[in-house]
Amino acid sequence: MISLIKYEFIRKYKLVSMILITILALNLLLLTKGAGGSMLFLVVSLSALFVFYLVDIIKMYSDDLNKKTGYMLFMTPNSGYKIIWAKLLAAIIEGAGLVLIYFIFILINGAYIVVSMGDQIDYSQIVRGVNQLLSGTFGFNLGHVLVLLMAVLAFLIAFITTVYTAMTI
């Protein structure tokens, strides 16, 4: 099963790295706009990562079912259940990785906001600053964002499982 998960990541690394480089370039571009650009990036990147993740997972499975490489994959000496579980586990790992990358971007943009306000960088202060910015602007804190992202990831896993089942049947 590990080799099947590794195969999934080997197939995706170019696309994922291109998306991450694009998001990093967008972050650098919007950081030149000030603190407002940094907040705009946090909203836009969350939406972009969500859409990318959903489309990527569904398209990869669809390609495996309908294209020549998929036929070769299902002809390996692994059961179909093992292949589908490997794809689902790869999707979960990819989603958790994207959530982690998004939190890294939150810390980077939080550091930029703290520096632009004239304060010194202290990571606990960055987390408090982002938390205050979210609670002052939107009425929720960073813990709520983490719980929301984990709930969205759980929803996506259930949705992807439903889509996989519908595509397989």
Global confidence as pTM: 0.72
CA distance 76 to 111: 48
Name which of 111, 115, 138 is nearest 127 in CA terms: 111
User: For the chain, first and last CA: distance in Å?
Assistant: 23
Per-residue pLDDT tens listing for the chain (169 residues): 788 888 788 888 888 889 889 988 888 888 887 777 777 888 888 888 888 888 888 888 888 778 777 667 777 787 778 888 888 888 888 888 888 888 888 878 877 777 777 766 666 766 776 677 666 666 667 777 778 878 887 888 888 788 777 777 6
Residue 103 near residue 150, CB atoms below 8 Å: no
